[in-house]
Structure 1
Amino acid sequence: MTPSSEYTARHLSVLEGLEAVRKRPGMYIGSTDSRGLMHCLWEIIDNSVDEALAGFGHEIAVILHADGSVEVHDDGRGIPVDVEPKTGLSGVEVVFTKLHAGGKFGGGSYTASGGLHGVGASVVNALSSRLDVQVDRGSKTYQMSFRRGEPGRFRDSGKPGPSAPFEPFVDDSVLDVVGKAKRGVTGTRIRYWADAQIFTPDARFSYDELANRARQTSFLVPGLRITVRDERRLAGTPGADGPHEEVFHHDGGISEFVDYLAIDAPVTDVWRLHGAGSFSETVPVLDEHGHSRIAEVERSCEVDVALRWGVGYETTLRTFVNIIATPKGGTHQAGFEAALLKVLRKAVEANARKLKAGNDKLEKDDVLAGMTAVLTVRLAEPQFEGQTKEILGTPAVRQIVAKVVEKELGAKLSSTARGDKNQSSVLLEKVVNEMKSRITARVHKETQRRKTALESSTLPAKLIDCRTDDTARSELFIVEGDSALGTARHARSSEFQALLPIRGKILNVQKASVGDMLSNAECAALIQVMGAGSGRSFDIAAARYGRVILMTDADVDGAHIRTLLLTLFFRYMRPMVEAGRVFAAVPPLHRVEVVNPGSKANEMVYTYSDAELHRVLARLNAEGRKYKEPPQRYKGLGEMDADQLAETTMDPRHRSLRRVTIESAQRAEEIFELLMGSDVAPRKDFIVAGSAQLDREQIDA
């Protein structure tokens, strides 16, 4: 079919409008890769969510079909099927072919919605090679199809698809009645195929993103049931081996959302802050003749916040406007953070003597450390910066959110109820400790520079520093015990290898507060030696060593000490781990002395596991070679002499190191909390579940 035949006179204006979308898709959906593809899906899903938000729907289903199409069902009121008087078109056709058309402009259908600009459905339609919509209303099922924005009918001979013959409507559009619906049953079903002419060949729907968004929405709209089904059988997805389906349904709202997001041990319970405010806004409105005029309208804004603090220092803040995520913040987030800082500053100043806070003032990072919060605001016709709705721009919302948070959080912190009073006290101690940690880290960064052995008087006395000024080449060995330190001191290369002994098992920082960590001699010494601060103020560029190597005994106690050290690095010096600059030394477990005939010196063979020892001994026996019985078993690093330690564990030419990496920060956080956190029950279950795999022979007793 030639391009001219696709442009019928009747739909010329429609296609001209949607053709702008096809020529500049990035202006409407951000990009034409997977991100833009997902944005189109969000536009359709958000329309269904708006129905649920208005109280007219309770279920949404999203299906990723194997042919690349996606289908969205809801049980809302259904798109209007009657004729819209101004255009003479059915409501379905208006929604899917007219830019800036929908039920979210006048405020009569939706008091607060995620859709705002009225371009979502029509943009998706314009960027689809085929879109089918079915509506259940008035005991009938209506259907209309579109190809790249133009209404018509597809002649499907088998499975529906965009390659089926298409007949555009020429004179009048027809909203076909294709079946009967049960009395009282309403809803909308949309299935579309993204246009390969628009989107990049590698653009794919992300199941993980979809599941996360569905879970998030089910928290934000309590009682809404969202089903996500993947029938694509794509490798690397949960549905690789067959159709995969998940159902998301939460009645606890954003309080339950905060519990889900928070993975560290709690300092406070989840606190809920509610409130509302109103403001006047001057906006253009249409009169009965369709003419635009400027008028002042009164708006209301509802604020709902759930927040809690934990023992960690990472901040998780999710903000939403009418359940639409605003990942880049906006006026609501600015008002929330400003009020948070103001209230906590006031509380700390009122208790400065008790908290030993001095004259220093809290900063935003001190307050946000360890906080998990969900902030939602609901208002009619919010102003977003761009169609992608990532930033809220309505100026008045800042002051409303700030007033609500200031009032509600202030009341919480000044409450005389025993539970609230105890939690408030612990929270204030935490934020003051964060402030002290930040100030200490800043002082360290300002005063600590790369020191030579002669200049290291300000560093811990037990540090045995190296001579090089080249940070990238230098290595810090954290050594277990003084006995191993003596051997390591002779085994190291003093040019670039520094030693710091650790006495016994350091503090478990997963359970301890920041103040306890800083007051612990071993932890404080290690942070001071690194010279780059701690927590969110850690500056990896200021780190004094290029590599940190944990050198502990190859036994259970050594593994425990290594885990404690890794917990400290993960919690307070995480950029070192993320950059792959933390290693675990691999000392040998056994030494086999192979006897050589004649005057030739005996050969030393080192093995690193019992299985490797058995393989070596079997090979020597098979070759008829003799070795001294029994092979030496190293109980600790101190049993090696300097030459052996250098050859096996410290000399870069011969040693083996295990690099500590984080594939998933969230998964790592969960593991550390499981193994080292305050909650004993999950750890007990983990130990009991893994006890069957334990080899008693591996335990030193």
Structure 2
Amino acid sequence: MVTSEYSAHHLQVLEGLEAVRKRPGMYIGSTDSRGLMHCLWEIIDNSVDEALAGHGNRIDVILRADGSVEVVDRARGIPVDIEPRTGLTGVEVVFTKLHAGGKFGGGSYAASGGLHGVGASVVNALSERLDVEVDREGKTWAMSFHRGEPGIFANGSPDSGFTPYLNSSELRTVGKVAKGVTGSRIRYWADRQIFTKDATFNLDELEQRARQTAFLVPGLEIVIRDERDGEPRTTAHKYDGGISEFVDFLAPDGAVTDTWRLMGDGTFRETVPVLQDTGAMVPTEVERVCHVDIALRWGTGYDTTTRSFVNIISTPKGGTHQQGFEQGLMKVLRAQVDQNARRLKVGTDKVEKDDILAGLTAVLTVRLPEPQFEGQTKEVLGTPAVRQIVTNVVSQELTARFTSTKRDDKAQTGLLLDKIVAEMKARISARTHKETQRRKNALESSSLPAKLVDCRSNDVSDSELFIVEGDSALGTAKLARNSEFQALLPIRGKILNVQKASISDMLGNAECASILQVVGAGSGRTFDLDAARYGKIILMSDADVDGAHIRTLLLTLFFRYMRPLIEAGRVFAAVPPLHRVIVMNPGSKPNETIYTYSEQELHALLAKLTKAGKRWQEPIQRYKGLGEMDAEQLASTTMDRAGRTLRRVGVQDAEAATSVFEMLMGNDVAPRREFIVTSADRLGRENIDA
């Protein structure tokens, strides 16, 4: 039986950790899966900080079947000697003292992800059991904790008998290791008194972050092993190319330039409180060094993909380092456009930031001691001096690239300037077109495609545009729609695959051009969500393979050129029924019509009718196309708001969605073939509607 009583010896330690248990959200954000993942990354990041400092090149993360997780590294190992001020071993200090560890004073880590020294102790406080083993000084040292309190468990289970240390703690010696072998193994069971029942470790999120970390620390291998579902699954991430490989991985389009690396550093001075031997905090002016490392490339697209990091901490909302990066880009590229104004035929127009960032994929990293973040979440870097240091590095390195006499550099910088000026001219042209459109009067609005069957309402929030497959379905849909707020646009068969085609090909395609014209909000980078003419865009295609393909092609068009509509949740797929079952009622009672939308639903309905002793008409009608339904059936099942079902098209992870669209619809055949071959075993008869 695990005791919940705390001994007097550890009362002082546990007073601090009790605050963590009472207010866990203050330290880990939440007590659901996000908080669980936060705890795991606190432990992993300690090993990553060791790798950053040059100690250890592999980290293993093992998700055990019993709900525990283990993190293994081959770094220096947690100190096992006595810390003089507390009289405790280094292991106990790290796992029981808040704001304690090697991140303070600058002695152990020049730049680390951890700032506050609370990570390991917080995880310990929120764990039902935590075991730590350290290989150091030729021995394996071990210690166990129960909700932050050191002691001994009866066996390997977290709910086995636990005996706390009463007078003094013991860092046990449990084995020997060869000379020079060092490292740490930490295994813990999250406390279910703290975390919600449905809190689980998210493997996809873990692998995504492990991949990101491996990119940021070249040569570091992070191995993830999942033993929770029977057969273990292992993945490894290691990238010797560092952030250059990261840029190539992130880039969603074809290349205009190679991946360029901009590196440099700068120094600055700041006044910080420094802990003296006497225990007093004294303001002291110190000199800091900020290292800047940037990888970037421009592609043929218009999307901008940037990732910024401070000591491998992701800063999704930017900060002073990102401001300095953009400032440096603007300074150099504006100057280069001005110098080449005659060749580029620029005139008096000025390049803006959006013109420069279009098609840019960049990873920006800075490393500095004790960075200042705005807020608890570390999402925005606040250290002021970093801005100018990054600007200087970008300016020097990029100017050197533009003034290089190498043939490749000259060719690529020339293409880049052409692209930036083309973006500028497209922006000016789009703005002129938009202003012209605004000046048009109501009589001129007849320029919309003739095949559009518009609705009467001018209320955008209430209006719906149905994109219908084929003219035959259009005839039925005209009778089935509510003409007050439902508009129809027929398309002829399969539209152009815009993932493979150029922008000019897309605009030259009649079907694609009609859709863009009817939506009325532009395309690509100039798309204006507020200008969209309809509140909902509903894709209505047949329930067969061709219909699914047409829907995929339409979604590719919306994702690539009208993505804000998808991100705003305004694109839907209609769900027409697959079957119509007419249940025969006895006597003069009218027969009942029931629609089903999948094979499973049909079988369940027939089983229910059989059990109730009811008969149905044979054969059961299987709809292959929208044209097989009459107007009343189409209205009641698919178009009438009272009875229809719509599937909202969403994009939770734009980066993953982009790579999937590129794999399935892009020019590169090999990844698509590999996906089809490797995924074939997931497809069985139960997955096919037949």
With normalisation by structure 1, the TM-score equals 0.77
Greater alpha carbon shift after TM alignment, 353-362 vs 275-284: 353-362
1:248 is displaced (CA, Å) by 1.7
Backbone CA RMSD of aligned residues: 4.3
Provide the rounded CA distance (Å) in 2 between the counterparts of 1:383 and 1:204.
Answer: 32
Rate the CA distance shift 1:486–1:354 in 2: closer, same or farther, 3 A. Answer: farther
Provide the rounded CA distance (Å) in 2 between the counterparts of 1:242 and 1:328.
Answer: 39
Greater alpha carbon shift after TM alignment, 322-331 vs 425-434: 425-434
For 2:161, the aligned partner's letter is A
Provide the rounded CA distance (Å) in 2 between the counterparts of 1:520 and 1:421.
Answer: 35
Rate the CA distance shift 1:90–1:551 in 2: closer, same or farther, 3 A. Answer: closer
For 1:18, the aligned partner's letter is L
Report the counterpart of residue 208 of structure 2 in structure 1.
Answer: 212
Provide the rounded CA distance (Å) in 1 between the counterparts of 2:283 and 2:562.
Answer: 55
Superposed, which structure 2 residues align to 1:190-269 within 5 Å? 190-232=186-228, 240-269=229-258
1:543 is displaced (CA, Å) by 1.4
| Corresponding residue SS for 2:231 | coil
1:470 is displaced (CA, Å) by 4.0
Provide the rounded CA distance (Å) in 1 between the counterparts of 2:94 and 2:445.
Answer: 72
For 2:152, the aligned partner's letter is F
Which of 534, 558, 581 is the equivalent residue of 2:571? 581
Rate the CA distance shift 1:154–1:373 in 2: closer, same or farther, 3 A. Answer: same
Report the counterpart of residue 161 of structure 1 in structure 2.
Answer: 158
Provide the rounded CA distance (Å) in 2 between the counterparts of 1:495 and 1:451.
Answer: 24
Rate the CA distance shift 1:122–1:687 in 2: closer, same or farther, 3 A. Answer: closer
Rate the CA distance shift 1:230–1:484 in 2: closer, same or farther, 3 A. Answer: closer
Report the counterpart of residue 86 of structure 2 in structure 1.
Answer: 87
Do structure 1's residue 568 and structure 2's residue 567 form an aligned pair? no
Rate the CA distance shift 1:357–1:686 in 2: closer, same or farther, 3 A. Answer: farther
| Corresponding residue SS for 1:51 | helix
Rate the CA distance shift 1:488–1:253 in 2: closer, same or farther, 3 A. Answer: same
Report the counterpart of residue 174 of structure 2 in structure 1.
Answer: 178
For 1:251, the aligned partner's letter is D
1:253 is displaced (CA, Å) by 0.9
1:139 is displaced (CA, Å) by 0.9
Do structure 1's residue 189 and structure 2's residue 185 form an aligned pair? yes
Report the counterpart of residue 320 of structure 1 in structure 2.
Answer: 309
Rate the CA distance shift 1:399–1:162 in 2: closer, same or farther, 3 A. Answer: farther
Provide the rounded CA distance (Å) in 2 between the counterparts of 1:486 and 1:174.
Answer: 80
Rate the CA distance shift 1:474–1:27 in 2: closer, same or farther, 3 A. Answer: closer
1:524 is displaced (CA, Å) by 5.1
| Corresponding residue SS for 2:367 | strand
Contact 1:437 1:534 survives alignment (8 Å): no
For 2:388, the aligned partner's letter is Q
| Corresponding residue SS for 2:200 | coil
Rate the CA distance shift 1:269–1:477 in 2: closer, same or farther, 3 A. Answer: same
Do structure 1's residue 112 and structure 2's residue 84 form an aligned pair? no
Contact 2:75 2:183 survives alignment (8 Å): yes
Superposed, which structure 2 residues align to 1:373-412 within 5 Å? 373-386=362-375, 388-412=377-401
Report the counterpart of residue 6 of structure 2 in structure 1.
Answer: 6
1:141-198: CA deviations, max 9, x gaps? 11122222222x2232x4331442222232x222111111122111111112222333
Contact 1:339 1:402 survives alignment (8 Å): yes
1:650 is displaced (CA, Å) by 12
For 2:174, the aligned partner's letter is V
Provide the rounded CA distance (Å) in 1 between the counterparts of 2:635 and 2:442.
Answer: 22
Rate the CA distance shift 1:75–1:674 in 2: closer, same or farther, 3 A. Answer: closer
Rate the CA distance shift 1:354–1:502 in 2: closer, same or farther, 3 A. Answer: farther
Which of 263, 266, 276 is the equivalent residue of 1:274? 263
Rate the CA distance shift 1:276–1:658 in 2: closer, same or farther, 3 A. Answer: same
Provide the rounded CA distance (Å) in 2 between the counterparts of 1:472 and 1:38.
Answer: 39
1:677-696: CA deviations, max 9, x gaps? 344555677899999x9xxx
Contact 2:143 2:172 survives alignment (8 Å): yes
Rate the CA distance shift 1:85–1:449 in 2: closer, same or farther, 3 A. Answer: same
Gaps of 5+ in 2: 579-616, 640-644, 684-690
Greater alpha carbon shift after TM alignment, 359-368 vs 530-539: 359-368
Provide the rounded CA distance (Å) in 1 between the counterparts of 2:234 and 2:428.
Answer: 50
Do structure 1's residue 24 and structure 2's residue 20 form an aligned pair? no
Greater alpha carbon shift after TM alignment, 86-95 vs 452-461: 452-461
For 2:28, the aligned partner's letter is I
Provide the rounded CA distance (Å) in 2 between the counterparts of 1:541 and 1:487.
Answer: 31
Provide the rounded CA distance (Å) in 2 between the counterparts of 1:392 and 1:43.
Answer: 19
Greater alpha carbon shift after TM alignment, 256-265 vs 497-506: 497-506
1:671 is displaced (CA, Å) by 4.5
Which of 412, 416, 423 is the equivalent residue of 2:412? 423
Contact 1:62 1:72 survives alignment (8 Å): yes
Rate the CA distance shift 1:672–1:646 in 2: closer, same or farther, 3 A. Answer: same
Q: Percent identity?
A: 66
For 1:114, the aligned partner's letter is G
Provide the rounded CA distance (Å) in 2 between the counterparts of 1:66 and 1:554.
Answer: 42
Which of 286, 296, 305 is the equivalent residue of 2:294? 305
Higher Cα radius of gyration:
1
Contact 2:113 2:312 survives alignment (8 Å): yes
Rate the CA distance shift 1:429–1:241 in 2: closer, same or farther, 3 A. Answer: farther
1:119-146: CA deviations, max 9, x gaps? 2112222222222211111111111222
| Corresponding residue SS for 2:411 | helix
1:274 is displaced (CA, Å) by 0.9
Rate the CA distance shift 1:401–1:647 in 2: closer, same or farther, 3 A. Answer: same
Report the counterpart of residue 44 of structure 2 in structure 1.
Answer: 45
For 1:409, the aligned partner's letter is L
Superposed, which structure 2 residues align to 1:280-679 within 5 Å? 280-386=269-375, 388-439=377-428, 454-457=443-446, 459=448, 465-471=454-460, 474=463, 476=465, 509-511=498-500, 514=503, 523=512, 526-546=515-535, 548=537, 565-577=554-566, 579=569, 581=571, 647=630, 652=635, 661=649, 665-666=654-655, 668-674=657-663, 676-679=665-668
Provide the rounded CA distance (Å) in 2 between the counterparts of 1:504 and 1:425.
Answer: 41
| Corresponding residue SS for 1:6 | coil
1:38-72: CA deviations, max 9, x gaps? 11111111111111111111121111222222211
For 2:122, the aligned partner's letter is V
| Corresponding residue SS for 1:40 | helix
1:80 is displaced (CA, Å) by 1.0
1:554-601: CA deviations, max 9, x gaps? 99999988765543322111243453535589999xxxxxxxxxxxxx
Rate the CA distance shift 1:327–1:107 in 2: closer, same or farther, 3 A. Answer: same
1:505-524: CA deviations, max 9, x gaps? 87654345557756777655
1:375-430: CA deviations, max 9, x gaps? 11111222234554333222211111121122222333444433333333333343
Rate the CA distance shift 1:112–1:430 in 2: closer, same or farther, 3 A. Answer: same
Gaps of 5+ in 1: 233-239, 589-622, 626-632, 638-643, 694-701
Provide the rounded CA distance (Å) in 2 between the counterparts of 1:31 and 1:466.
Answer: 47
Provide the rounded CA distance (Å) in 2 between the counterparts of 1:587 and 1:448.
Answer: 40
Greater alpha carbon shift after TM alignment, 458-467 vs 63-72: 458-467
Rate the CA distance shift 1:520–1:340 in 2: closer, same or farther, 3 A. Answer: farther
1:10-48: CA deviations, max 9, x gaps? 333222222332233222222222222211111111111
Contact 1:311 1:513 survives alignment (8 Å): no
Greater alpha carbon shift after TM alignment, 46-55 vs 487-496: 487-496
Greater alpha carbon shift after TM alignment, 20-29 vs 53-62: 20-29
| Corresponding residue SS for 2:184 | strand
Contact 1:452 1:466 survives alignment (8 Å): no
Rate the CA distance shift 1:116–1:667 in 2: closer, same or farther, 3 A. Answer: closer
Residues paired across the two proteins, number = 634
Superposed, which structure 2 residues align to 1:97-136 within 5 Å? 97-136=96-135
Provide the rounded CA distance (Å) in 2 between the counterparts of 1:362 and 1:649.
Answer: 56
With normalisation by structure 2, the TM-score equals 0.79
| Corresponding residue SS for 2:458 | coil
Rate the CA distance shift 1:674–1:37 in 2: closer, same or farther, 3 A. Answer: closer
| Corresponding residue SS for 1:285 | strand
